[in-house]
Amino acid sequence: MSVENLELEARSLCEKLKSQLSSATRNLRLQDGWKIIQGAAAQVVLLIEKHIGKSLAGPEKKAKAMATVEQIVDIVCTLITIPGVPVWIEMYLDKYIKVFLMAVADGSIDALVKTFHDTGVFPPKKEG
Protein backbone atom coordinates (compact mmCIF):
# COMPACT_ATOMS: atom_id res chain seq x y z
CA MET A 1 0.00 0.00 0.00
CA SER A 2 1.20 3.49 -0.67
CA VAL A 3 0.69 7.19 -0.18
CA GLU A 4 -0.56 7.40 -3.79
CA ASN A 5 -3.32 4.87 -3.07
CA LEU A 6 -4.24 6.74 0.08
CA GLU A 7 -4.46 10.05 -1.75
CA LEU A 8 -6.55 8.47 -4.49
CA GLU A 9 -9.03 7.02 -2.00
CA ALA A 10 -9.12 10.26 0.02
CA ARG A 11 -9.84 12.24 -3.14
CA SER A 12 -12.56 9.74 -4.02
CA LEU A 13 -14.07 10.13 -0.55
CA CYS A 14 -14.18 13.92 -0.98
CA GLU A 15 -15.71 13.68 -4.45
CA LYS A 16 -18.34 11.22 -3.21
CA LEU A 17 -19.20 13.58 -0.37
CA LYS A 18 -19.45 16.53 -2.76
CA SER A 19 -21.75 14.52 -4.98
CA GLN A 20 -23.97 13.45 -2.09
CA LEU A 21 -24.25 17.02 -0.81
CA SER A 22 -24.60 18.69 -4.21
CA SER A 23 -28.37 18.90 -3.85
CA ALA A 24 -28.07 20.57 -0.44
CA THR A 25 -28.24 24.34 -0.69
CA ARG A 26 -26.67 25.87 2.37
CA ASN A 27 -29.15 24.37 4.76
CA LEU A 28 -27.16 22.01 6.94
CA ARG A 29 -27.41 22.55 10.65
CA LEU A 30 -24.06 22.73 12.43
CA GLN A 31 -24.69 19.46 14.28
CA ASP A 32 -25.60 17.68 11.02
CA GLY A 33 -22.48 19.05 9.36
CA TRP A 34 -20.43 17.78 12.29
CA LYS A 35 -21.95 14.30 11.97
CA ILE A 36 -20.87 14.20 8.32
CA ILE A 37 -17.36 15.38 9.24
CA GLN A 38 -17.11 12.87 12.10
CA GLY A 39 -18.11 9.95 9.88
CA ALA A 40 -15.69 11.04 7.17
CA ALA A 41 -12.89 11.48 9.74
CA ALA A 42 -13.38 7.88 10.86
CA GLN A 43 -13.14 6.75 7.23
CA VAL A 44 -9.98 8.82 6.75
CA VAL A 45 -8.32 7.34 9.84
CA LEU A 46 -9.13 3.83 8.63
CA LEU A 47 -7.79 4.60 5.14
CA ILE A 48 -4.55 5.95 6.55
CA GLU A 49 -4.04 2.88 8.71
CA LYS A 50 -4.84 0.62 5.76
CA HIS A 51 -2.49 2.30 3.29
CA ILE A 52 0.40 3.75 5.28
CA GLY A 53 -0.18 2.65 8.85
CA LYS A 54 3.10 0.82 9.19
CA SER A 55 5.28 3.28 7.29
CA LEU A 56 4.57 6.51 9.20
CA ALA A 57 4.71 7.56 12.84
CA GLY A 58 1.64 8.79 14.67
CA PRO A 59 2.25 12.54 14.17
CA GLU A 60 2.79 12.03 10.43
CA LYS A 61 -0.41 10.01 10.12
CA LYS A 62 -2.26 12.68 12.09
CA ALA A 63 -0.99 15.40 9.73
CA LYS A 64 -2.25 13.37 6.74
CA ALA A 65 -5.61 12.89 8.46
CA MET A 66 -5.94 16.58 9.28
CA ALA A 67 -5.14 17.57 5.68
CA THR A 68 -7.88 15.31 4.32
CA VAL A 69 -10.37 16.27 7.00
CA GLU A 70 -9.71 19.93 6.17
CA GLN A 71 -10.88 19.24 2.60
CA ILE A 72 -14.04 17.65 4.00
CA VAL A 73 -14.63 20.57 6.38
CA ASP A 74 -14.31 22.95 3.40
CA ILE A 75 -17.04 21.04 1.58
CA VAL A 76 -19.39 20.89 4.57
CA CYS A 77 -18.71 24.35 5.98
CA THR A 78 -20.14 26.17 2.97
CA LEU A 79 -23.47 24.37 3.46
CA ILE A 80 -23.96 25.11 7.15
CA THR A 81 -26.79 27.46 8.05
CA ILE A 82 -27.05 29.26 11.35
CA PRO A 83 -30.71 29.98 12.15
CA GLY A 84 -31.56 33.68 12.22
CA VAL A 85 -28.27 34.76 10.66
CA PRO A 86 -28.43 36.28 7.14
CA VAL A 87 -26.52 34.43 4.42
CA TRP A 88 -24.17 37.36 3.78
CA ILE A 89 -23.07 37.27 7.44
CA GLU A 90 -22.78 33.47 7.37
CA MET A 91 -20.39 33.68 4.44
CA TYR A 92 -18.19 35.93 6.60
CA LEU A 93 -18.50 33.50 9.53
CA ASP A 94 -17.55 30.44 7.44
CA LYS A 95 -13.85 30.90 8.18
CA TYR A 96 -14.54 30.96 11.94
CA ILE A 97 -16.82 27.96 11.69
CA LYS A 98 -14.03 26.15 9.84
CA VAL A 99 -11.49 27.00 12.55
CA PHE A 100 -13.91 25.68 15.18
CA LEU A 101 -14.65 22.48 13.25
CA MET A 102 -10.94 21.83 12.61
CA ALA A 103 -10.16 22.25 16.31
CA VAL A 104 -12.88 19.77 17.22
CA ALA A 105 -11.74 17.41 14.43
CA ASP A 106 -8.20 17.48 15.82
CA GLY A 107 -9.35 16.03 19.14
CA SER A 108 -11.82 13.75 17.42
CA ILE A 109 -9.10 12.10 15.34
CA ASP A 110 -7.16 11.34 18.53
CA ALA A 111 -10.30 9.86 20.09
CA LEU A 112 -11.02 7.77 16.99
CA VAL A 113 -7.49 6.35 16.93
CA LYS A 114 -7.66 5.52 20.64
CA THR A 115 -11.05 3.86 20.22
CA PHE A 116 -9.81 1.86 17.23
CA HIS A 117 -6.82 0.69 19.28
CA ASP A 118 -8.92 -0.08 22.37
CA THR A 119 -11.49 -2.09 20.40
CA GLY A 120 -8.95 -4.06 18.37
CA VAL A 121 -9.70 -2.43 15.02
CA PHE A 122 -6.04 -1.36 14.92
CA PRO A 123 -3.23 -3.58 16.16
CA PRO A 124 -2.06 -2.85 19.71
CA LYS A 125 0.56 -0.13 20.13
CA LYS A 126 4.05 -1.46 20.68
CA GLU A 127 5.45 -0.51 24.05
CA GLY A 128 8.88 0.97 24.40
pLDDT at 69: 92
Most distant pair of Cα atoms in the chain: their distance? 54
Number of domains the chain contains: 1
Range of the domain at 68: 3-117
pLDDT at 37: 92
Is there a domain that residue 10 lies in?
yes
Is there a domain that residue 75 lies in?
yes
Is there a domain that residue 127 lies in?
no
Q: Which residues contact 40 (CB under 8 A, 6 or more apart)?
A: 13, 17, 69, 72
Model confidence over 18-60: pLDDT tens digits?
Answer: 888 777 666 788 888 899 999 999 999 998 888 777 777 888 8
Q: What is the pTM of this model?
A: 0.82
Model confidence over 111-126: pLDDT tens digits?
Answer: 999 999 889 888 776 6
Is there a domain that residue 30 lies in?
yes
